[in-house]
Structure 1
Amino acid sequence: MTFTLKPLASAIGAEVVGLDLRTAIDDDTIAALRDAWHRHTILLFRGQSLDHAQHVAFSRRFGALDDHASIPRFRHPEHPEILLVTNHEAGGKRLAVGRQWHSDLSTTTRPAKGSLLYCSVLPPVGGDTMFCNMVRAWETLSPGLQSMLDGRWALHDMTIARETRANRTPDDLADIRRRNPPVFQPVARVHDEAGHKALYVSEMTTVSFENMTRAESQPLLEYLYQHSVQPENVYRHRWQVGDLMMWDNRSAMHIALSDYDQTQPRMMYRTTLLGNPSGRVAEEAALALAA
C-alpha cells in the first residue's frame, strides 16, 4: 500500500494521506508508517471512520496496549484498551483531562510509548490540542546545560497535577499517592528505537530534580518548560471528526486546551502503547526532600 506525507509544522508532525485504517494494512506499510512516526513524532490520519475494534486493531500493529487498569474511571467498560477522553459528566462531575503540558503515564514505571487518539464528537469551536517536539527541545539546549542534565533524574508525581488536585481532600491525594507512588524518571529520555534523546520533564507532573529541594529545582524546571513550548517548537491541532492522531510520548509533550464552551461535548477515544520499563519508585527520604 502507498501513502504520502504532508508536513503539519516545521518542528513536528505529518499528515498521512491515502490510507483507510479500516482495511488490512500490510507489514511493509506498517514499517513505513513506523519510520515516518519516528521521524515526525506525530502522525495525523484524517477522514477515518473507525469503530472501537478497528481502532484497537490498528493500534496493536505498533505494540502492546495498556488496559488502563490504573485509571478505571476513564476506561471504556467494554474495551479496556480504550481510554475515554471526554468532558462528559461521570459520577456527577465534569471531567477535565490533560490541560497542562505532559507526556502520558510519566508517573509510572512503564511510561507510554505512544498514544492514538480518535476524534468522535467536537464542540462547534475550539477543543484544540497542542504538541511540542521534546527532541528539538533537548537539542537546542546549550552544551553546558545538556551536560548538567544528562544522567540526572527528576521526580514525577501525579498528585501535583492541577486536575488531580481539584476538589480533592488531603486524604484523597494521599490515597492516590499510595496507589500511584511518585517515580524518578531520566531528565533525558533515550528513544529505545530511534536512539535520540528527548527532554523529559513536564509542568503537569515533574516536582523536582533528584537530591534537590522543590524550591531549588523550580527555577530551572520553569526555564525548561518555557524553552520546550516556544512557538517555533509547537504544532496546534484543530480537530475534525474522524481524525486519528498518533504521537510518540518518548519524543513529544501535549496539552488539551480548554478553549471551548464546556457545556458542549468533546468526545475522544485513546489507545495507549506500552513503553519499556523506565524509572524507579521514589524512596521516602527523596519525597521528604521534595516536599
Structure 2
Amino acid sequence: MIEVQPVGYALGAKVTGVDLSRPLKSDEIQQIKDAWTKHLVLVFPGQQLDPESLIAFTKHFGELDNYDSQPFNRHPEYDQVMLLSNKPLNGKIPPGANNGQNWHTDLSYTIRPAKATMVYCIEKPSVGGDTMFASMYAAYESLSPKMRAFLDDLEAVNDVSLISARRDPAIMEAFKRLNPPVVHPAVRIHPESGKPALYVNDRVRTFVGMSDAESKPIIKFLCEHSVQPRFVYRHRWEVRDLVLWDNRCLTHLAVGDYAPNEFRHMIRTSTMGDYYGRYENPEAAEAAHKAANITSHEIAAGVSTLHD
C-alpha cells in the first residue's frame, strides 16, 4: 500500500510502499500524481533503478526531454538521461558536475520549460550535497495584494548565461548558442491546482518593458523573498533515493557544500512542459534551430578536452 507522509511544512512528502522499478497500476500512478500536485516534491527512498527503469517511470508524467538544450550533459548511452556527477567518466569530470548551484527552475531558459524532474542518487558524499526546494505558491501568496497585482501583468526574460559562475567558458558558449533568452510570465497558473506561482528566480535578467535598472532591485527582492526558510524543504540525500519535483511551482538549489574529492553521482530525467514561452528576439529562433542541429558527436568533440 502506498503511503504519503509530509516531510516539510511548505512542501515535500515521503512516499513508501511502492517499487518504481516494476510496472505500476493506473490507480498507483494516479495516487502518486495526486500527492505530487499536493506536496510538489516527492521522495521515494530505497528504490533500485537503472536508466531504463527511470525512463519508464518518468514517461507516466509526460513527454521525455532528450536534452537538446544541453547535449553535453547527457548520459553516454541514453539521450533522455542527464548525468549530475563529479565522478570521472573516461578519465574526465563530466560537464554537469556543478549543475544547479543557484536557485532556478529547470530549463526556464528554454521555450518549453520542464514539467517534472526526477533525480536518482547512486553515490553521495559523506557530508553535504543536499538539494533545497522552495514553494513558489507560498512565495507568491505571502506578497502584498499590490505587489501580486503588479507581477500578474509582468513578463520576465530568462537568460541561460545566468545559470552559474562556475561553468567552463566553452560550455557557456555552447549553452548560449543553443538557448537564446526567452520570455515567460512572472506569475504562472498551475494547470492542475489552478493556483498562481511566482516564476522569478536567479536566472531572470530583466522584465519586459522595464529597464535593467528598474528590474534588478525587484528581481533581487523576489529572489530573496522566495527562498525564506519558511518556504523551503531541504532534502538530505540517501543512496537509492528518487526525488520527483514540479518545476511549475517551485525553485531549487543544489548545495555545493561537499568535499571535491568525494563523489556526488546522480542521474536525472525530466518531462517537457505543458506551456510554451517565446524568444526575446524572434530572429534568435532560427539561430537556435541551426545550433540545435549540431550533432551530439560534434558537441562532445568540442568539449572533450575541457577537463583533461
- Could you tell me the TM-score, scaled by structure 2's length? 0.86
Residue number in structure 1 paired with 2:257 = 259
In structure 1, runs of 5+ residues without a counterpart are 286-291
Structure 2 match to 1:54: 53
1:185 aligned partner: 184
* Paired residue type of 1:266: R
Report the 3-state secondary structure (helix = DSSP H, G, I; strand = E; otherwise coil) of the residue aligned with 2:252: strand
Q: Considering only aligned residues, what root-mean-square deviation do their CA atoms show, in Å?
A: 1.9
Q: Which residue is 1:36 aligned to?
A: 35
Percent identity over paired residues: 41
> How far did residue 108 of structure 1 move?
0.6
Question: 1:168 is matched with which residue?
Answer: 169
Letter in 2 for 1:189: R
Residue 229, structure 1, aligned to residue 231, structure 2? no
Distance in 1 of aligned mates of 2:187 and 2:168: 33
Q: Shift of the alpha carbon at 1:179?
A: 2.1
Superposed CA deviations along residues 167-188 of structure 1, whole A, max 9, x for unmatched, are 427xx75654332110011000
Q: Which residue of 1 aligns with 2:290?
A: none
Paired letter, 2:123: V
Residue equivalent to 1:202: 201
Q: Is the CA contact 1:118–1:268 (under 8 Å) kept in the aligned structure 2?
A: yes
Check 1:125–1:173 CA distance in 2 against 1; reply closer, same or farther (3 A cut). closer
Tell me how far apart the structure 2 counterparts of residues 122 and 209 of structure 1 sit (CA, whole Å).
38
Tell me, yes or no, if the aligned pair for 2:133 and 2:253 is still in contact at 8 Å: yes
Looking at structure 1, the residues matched to 168 and 66 of structure 2 have their Cα atoms a distance apart, in angstroms, of: 27
**Quick one: distance in 2 between partners of 1:177 and 1:238?**
32
Rounded Cα–Cα distance in structure 2 between residues aligned with 1:11 and 1:85? 26
1:137, 1:84 → 2: CA distance? Answer: 30
User: Partner of 1:247 in structure 2?
Assistant: 245
Q: Determine if contact 2:101/2:255 at 8 Å carries over to the other structure.
A: yes
Pairs aligned (count) = 281
Is contact 2:70–2:175 with CA below 8 Å preserved after alignment? no
Alignment partners' CA distance in 2, 1:79 and 1:137: 36
Q: Which residue of 2 aligns with 1:108?
A: 110
Residue in 2 that maps onto 1:64 = 63
With 92-101 and 60-69 compared, the bigger mean Cα shift is at 92-101
1:158 corresponding residue in structure 2:
160
Distance in 2 between residues matched to 1:110 and 1:89, nearest whole Å = 31
**What does residue range 78-157 of structure 1 map to in structure 2 within 5 Å?**
78-89=77-88, 92=92, 95-157=97-159
Distance 1:41 1:258 in 2: 23
Q: State the distance in 1 between where 2:59 and 2:168 align.
A: 36
> Structure 1 residues 260, 174: CA separation in 2 closer, same or farther (over 3 Å shift)?
closer
1:215 has 2:216 as partner = no
**1:225, distance to aligned residue in structure 2 (A):** 0.8
CA contact (8 A) 1:97 1:163 kept: no
- The C-alpha deviation readout for 1:53-91, integer Å capped at 9, x for no partner, is 111111111111101122111101211111101123468
